[in-house]
Structure 1
């Protein structure tokens, strides 16, 4: 039984190590700067905070960070746990449910389409949402 457990743990460790991307020294230094001080200038109450400290402060179990430059992923890394009970760590493949940030990202996308002349912000939205059903909205 011990051999089976050890073999399973080894396979899990191997899969975790193999899944971690290898980055250049410069990128690893950038990752370390982000981990040590989120924006490089963020100081709260006279003290810089690490990513781990901010996660703890806001009771965030897990987060995924991706840095994109010129439409290319420079680096991506997961921190914390996707599921603490199951001891599943966040990876770059962990799926998160969209939250409030999706509103601003959608707004940016809509404004880019308008800027390119693909849509008119002053038209009825139902002109673009052809599968949209008009339904009465009720407040709870």
Structure 2
């Protein structure tokens, strides 16, 4: 996801410490058996109110760097770039039915995918490193 460098950076964004992040504004929770992915609060704020989310099919294979989800708002259409490789096991149909869930709770009910990761270690940022990317 590419975000405009010209926009004023809000400093009060939530960046949970227990998650890992990509430069493309995707968060990853690897604490369970499956990795959970979603977009960050920063990305949701930059996109504005989401109106459409095009999800991939469960069982699809994804490689790091792939455009895996299309996010459409009144402002823009942006792809969600996967920071991990693996097989998509679950998609959050709730965000497809009501994309505003992502805007309202990007780190909770607004999760987008659950992926069974390959063994390779994804190149992800800590919360502190990600905060430097967006500030």
TM-score range normalised by the length of the shorter chain? under 0.3
Decide which structure has the larger Cα Rg and report it.
1
Q: Give the structure, 1 or 2, with the largest relative contact order (CA under 8 Å, sep 6 or more).
A: 2
TM-score, with normalisation over the residues of structure 2?
Answer: 0.25
TM-score, with normalisation over the residues of structure 1?
Answer: 0.24
